[in-house]
Structures are given as C-alpha cells and as structure tokens.
Amino acid sequence: MATGSINRLAMQLQDYFDQLVPNWDREVTPERLECLSNIIEELDIKLGSHVLDIGSGTGILLPFLIEAVGGEGRIIALDLSAKMLHEAKAKGFQSIVDFVQADAAAIPLLHNYIDLAICNSVFPHFNNKAKALKEIARVLKSNGQLVICHTASRDAINQLHQSIGSVVANDLLPDEFELSELMKHTGLTITYLEESPKRYLVIAKKVVRSPPNWRNRSPPVSF
C-alpha cells in the first residue's frame, strides 16, 4: 500500500477514523448502498476509466466502481486511515484497485491521470478544502469530473458532525455559493448540484481554457 504526506491536523482525523473501523460497515444500510449504486450508475462511467475514490474507507464504493470501469480500468482507493484501507484490502477486491494512504491535499499521482474523482462522505473532512480541490483538479484530465456525494442532505450532514463534536465538529459541507468560490481558481466548474433529504450530489468538470492565439490575430492598426 502506497503512502503520501500527511500533516498534523490530518493525523488527528486519521486517528479518529482509525477508531471507527470496527463498526464502520455496520452503519452502511441497504438504503445507503442503493443510493450509492444509483449515483454511480447515473454518472455513466466509461469502461477503462481511471477513477480516484477519495476517502474510500473500507471500500463501500469499490464494488460499484469496479463494475463500472471493467477489467481495463483502474481505481485508486485513497484514504487518510491506514486501518480503513487495511479493512478494504482484506475484502479481496480485484487487482485493478490500488490502495493509497494520503491526504487529499497531497495526492501522490501524476498530473492529468484521472478521468473521475469521487468524494463520498468525505468532503467536509478536508481541513483545507481549497488546497484539496486544487490537487484534485491537478490529477484530473481535461474534462474530467469531480463528484461530491452523501446519502443525506447537506443540513443533516452538518448537524451530525456538529452533534458528534470532537475533531469533526467543524467539518461542514459548504453551501452552493461557498463551494463555487472554493472552486473558482482551480479550473473546476460546477455542472450539477442536487440537494434532497436522501442525498447530496455535486458534479464539477475540469475545464482547461486554451490560451489566446495571438498569431492568428490581425496586427494593430497604426495611424
């Protein structure tokens, strides 16, 4: 299992989630799995795609992603928690899955490598959301997509984290305006946003704008 650099705040979060591993999968209800399955299906992921599953945890999304990308695809399961990833790896997923322990703000991947990055139930926990978004944009291919999703509403997620307190008390989902502002200088543009009692879904695209082609412009007129 590969590892990347992790800062002090991220270490605290890592310790928090390490402690949750024994009971993590018990919290995943059939309703949540159905919701996630529907989201992956709606994304229409192409066979052979390279997918980055950020906050992969114990691998809840991996069966759906493996089916979507097929045998020629590649999935990078990235998480802060080594224990979460160990649990996922023990489930015996196919060899197309690579497990990487790293912070989303320091993703150990090449530029323009990923077709789709998905953040399921993890985006609020990024302690530097702007930096994480820039990193995600860096590893995405041109026109690649970022997906942020939860199997509950934004308000419900925020209330849950505030009620838990501790290291996740301030781990909140931003509203649409705040999220757009965070993405403004990353090259990511929101193309879809859905908020309902049963799910929260944001899709953003990496748009690479071509520099002006000065050679094809007419020379300035002098008088």
- pLDDT tens-digit map of 136-153: 999 999 999 999 999 999
What confidence score (pLDDT) does residue 163 get? 94
* 212: in domain: no
Q: What is the CATH number of the domain that holds 11?
A: 3.40.50.150
| pLDDT at 128 (0 to 100) | 93
The pLDDT confidence band at residue 222, using thresholds 50, 70 and 90, is: very low
181 domain residue, yes or no: yes
Q: What is the pLDDT of residue 18?
A: 77
**Quick check: is 213 in a domain?**
no
pLDDT tens digits, one per residue of 67-87: 999 999 999 999 999 999 999
Does a structural domain hold residue 44? yes
Task: Determine the pLDDT at residue 2.
Answer: 63
User: Quick check: pTM over 0.75?
Assistant: yes
Q: Is residue 54 part of a domain?
A: yes
What's the structural domain count of the chain?
1
Predicted pLDDT of residue 11: 80
Q: What is the span of the domain harbouring residue 27?
A: 2-207
Residue 190 resides in a domain: yes
pLDDT at 220: 47
Distance CA 101, CA 82 (A): 6
Structure confidence at residue 6 (pLDDT): 57
Inside any domain, residue 216: no
Regarding predicted confidence, which is higher, 23 or 131? 131
Are 89 and 23 in contact by the 8 Å Cβ rule? The answer is: no
- pLDDT surpassing 80 at residue 89: yes
Whether pLDDT at 8 is above 80? no
Residue 212 in this model has a pLDDT that exceeds 70: no
In three-state form (DSSP H/G/I as H, E/B as E, the rest C), the secondary structure along the chain is: CEECCCCHHHHHHHHHHHHHHHHHHHHCCHHHHHHHHHHHHHHCCCCCCEEEEECCCCCCCHHHHHHHHCCCCEEEEEECCHHHHHHHHCCCCCCCEEEEECCCCCCCCCCCCEEEEEEECCHHHCCCHHHHHHHHHHHEEEEEEEEEEECCCHHHHHHHHHHHCHHHCCCCCCCHHHHHHHHCCCCEEEEEEEECCCCEEEEEEECCCCCCCHHHCCCCCCC
Q: Is residue 137 part of a domain?
A: yes
